[in-house]
Chains A and B, each alone.
Chain A
Amino acid sequence: MSFDDAYQALTDHDDDARWAYGTGFADPLAGVPTTLPEGVDGADLAAYCLMIADDALILSHRLQQWVTRAPELEDEMAIANIALDLLGQARLLLTRAGEAEGAGRDEDDLAYLREAADFRHVRLAEVRDDDFGHLIARLLVFATWRLALLDRLSASRDPVLSAIAAKGVKEVTYHREYAAGWTVRLGDGTPLSRQRMQAGLDAVWPLIDELFEPHPIEQRLTGVAVDPASLRPEFDAVLAQVLAAATLDAPAPGSATRDAPASGSATRDAPVSGTATHEEAALGKTPGRDGRHGGELAEILSEMQGLARATPGGVW
């Protein structure tokens, strides 16, 4: 709702509740045709929607775990808002996955009744946050990558994906701004805040390459999906700009592993035992997209799916 004429706003007497709640909410998918675009394989489209839905769903759950744990009340709200934005994206994408699949599964079936091996998110979405610095590093990497992705996806041949992405661009722009702001504050702050911000970056750094590794499904969906490799230049440029402002160093390739002691990750479950190199080799280049996840996902799913599985079909 916008007013070019100030008097039009003044004489609009129909929304007396405006001081308590805003008005003018819009359905992002209003009027968008849901039929599959011509020549697109339904199974491939469903699998692709699951990938980017699960990225949002699983990270949203991780962010929700910060509620009551955030360092300040105001930041707790900010993190919860970001979690809700991502949950909203996940719901729309899961619904689209269900439509494309054509087997009658809805968003709830896909969120609550899938096994761990059927989830398709990147590993960056599921790892545990050791502290606020780690959370911010992960959020900066995730939002920078996802904003570049959604920006291009808004030109998808699938009208539903395009509409969902266009809605998400506005949301994730703010997520990136929030994470970048805190990265600069912590990095260019006290010696302690700088150390913990750097430790957070070191911890998430090994998970970055996976984000840009094309999956066969993405390659088959020409014009519908986005080739993640094409996002790397924008990602690198944004990260370099933020890290420079934060006076932080980008970790050297291979300088940190997921079980680096500096980030206190001794409790983190390695997906496959063995050295980092063997572990990576065994996982392949797109482990998350292929359904290979760590023990941390089991922990997330037992919490996220527990109620739905305990009371099948329950409605309140």
Chain B
Amino acid sequence: MSGEIKHEWPLFEVFVRAKRGLNHVHVGSLRAADHEMALHHARDLYTRRNEGVSIWVVKSDDVVASGPDDKDAFFGPSGDKAYRHPTYYAIPDSVPHI
């Protein structure tokens, strides 16, 4: 049984939403034994200064990330295609955050 005890808790990524209507934003990571503990730790580590109204935690192992080697193939091709941006539209004053 003692062989099953992990001496280091798994890593979790923490996302906090500052207020209603805004997105959850990645704020950092922490270690916890499970999701429930991760949520409590996130509350204690990342919302001490009144930063949040909602928290997500995700196991870091469950995040699939693009690698630096993929940079050119992934992101290079969009660099010269300005017509994909809404540059040619007039944005109404009442539409913020764009």
Contact = CB atoms under 8 A, between A and B. Distances in A.
B44 A9 contact: no
Contacts of B50: 21-25
A19 B51 CA distance: 7
Contact of A72 (B1, B5, B9): B9
Contact of A181 (B40, B48, B49): B40
Given A18-B18, A181-B40, A74 B32 contact: yes
Interface string A163-206: 00000000000100110010001000010000000000000000
Interface in A9-31: 9-11, 13, 18-19, 21-25
Main DSSP-derived SS at the A contact region: helix
B45 A22 contact: no
Contacts of B31: 72-74
A81 B51 CA distance: 15
A10 B21 contact: yes
Interface string B36-48: 1100110111011
Interface string A246-272: 000000000000000000000000000
B71 interface: no
Contacts of A185: 33, 37
Nearest to A21: B49
Interface in B10-58: 18-22, 25, 30-33, 36-37, 40-41, 43-45, 47-52
A3 B45 CA distance: 25
Nearest to A177: B40
Contacts of B21: 3, 6-10
A140 B21 CA distance: 37
Nearest to B1: A190
A13 B96 CA distance: 10
B85 interface: no
A81 B36 contact: no
B81 interface: no
A199 to B, nearest CB: 20
Bin the interface of chain B by size: 20 to 34
B97 interface: yes
Nearest to B36: A181
A21 B30 contact: no
Which among B18, B32, B33, B44 has the highest number of chain A CB atoms within 10 Å? B44
Contact of B18 (A19, A72, A74): A19
B2 to A, nearest CB: 8
Contacts of A10: 21-22, 96-97
Nearest to A182: B37
Contacts of A7: 21
Nearest to B44: A78
Contacts of A21: 49-51
A1 interface: yes
Contacts of A240: none
Given A23-B50, A78-B41, A3 B20 contact: yes
A77 B96 contact: no
Contacts of A177: 40
Contacts of B19: 1, 3, 9, 18
6 contacts: A2-B20, A6-B21, A18-B18, A25-B50, A74-B44, A75-B41
Interface of A: 1-3, 6-11, 13, 18-19, 21-25, 72-75, 77-78, 81, 174, 177-178, 181, 185, 190
Interface of B: 1, 5, 9, 18-22, 25, 30-33, 36-37, 40-41, 43-45, 47-52, 96-97
Given A18-B51, A23-B50, 10 more contacts: A9-B22, A10-B22, A11-B96, A18-B19, A21-B50, A25-B50, A74-B31, A77-B45, A78-B44, A174-B43
